Structure 1
Amino acid sequence: MGLKSLKKQRRIQIVALAAVALVVSTGLIGYAMRDGINFFRSPSQVVEAPPSPSETFRIGGLVEEGSLVRGQGHEISFSVTDGGASVPVVFEGVLPDLFDENQGMVGTGRYVDGVFRASEILAKHDETYMPKEVIDALKEQGVYEDPNAGS
């Protein structure tokens, strides 16, 4: 093997490596973005314009009173509401300690066949942890009372 073919081989390796690096970084950016653009939707928005079953997004609102059902094993179902509409949620796993009816929650997952299949549930026990989007959605529906408004 001459020196020329070695150099050529080396160049091919570098180009191939750069191509792989580009694909990987693009994939990682896409993945990070996908997480960042886990769009937040209120139950009213989900009902009005149902997202595609392949889209992962966040839903937030209050756990509807009387809707919490603990099924077989770890499966839990409940409805999340913003006062305007409610969306049934199915979640398999361990719920956060503060999770309860009439409490704020945010779930990440997909909306499939009219049911939000949550991969993650976060309980929002008091207003300081409640995401701004949830508060705005609840205010929009006239459900949310600002605890600091009266003081």
Structure 2
Amino acid sequence: LKGEGCREEAATYCRNWIADTLQSAERGAFVNLISVRVFEALGLDTTPLVQAREEYKRIQEQKRREQKEKEAEERRVQEEQHQRLLNEQKQKFLDGERITGEMFLEITGRDGFDIHIRTKGTFNRHVRGIDRNGTVSSRKIKGCRTPDFTGCHKAVSAYLAFITEKEGK
């Protein structure tokens, strides 16, 4: 508090603190607990400050609830879009068109069909596309051997058998 301007500013702040605190409480701003305790120590009425604190907390809780609801709605919409995409990709696969290996894994996982973990790795790492006939288009990674795709072929034929059995029930 060196300098004359700083002292006067601090003195003005202290003189106007009670009025400023009450005004900020009326505006709906958050009131610190220390301000409530200072009002109690000075023997002033703390009711407006406590009410302002409670109102602020209630408003913040309502905002949090609305935000959670909004996020839940967004997640639900995204999940619906993802399920729609999986349905479209599954129909493409069943119609004989090519889909990606990752999509095939997601579709089989959703339908409850288990694929061996090593075959899943081959699908994820090497398979670019696969169709109903078991035709695999793959990517060759430099320095790595070309994997054996028999597990992928078996997974496709077993999945098609699984689907026909499931639809038959």
Q: TM-score, normalised by structure 1?
A: 0.37
Larger Rg: 2
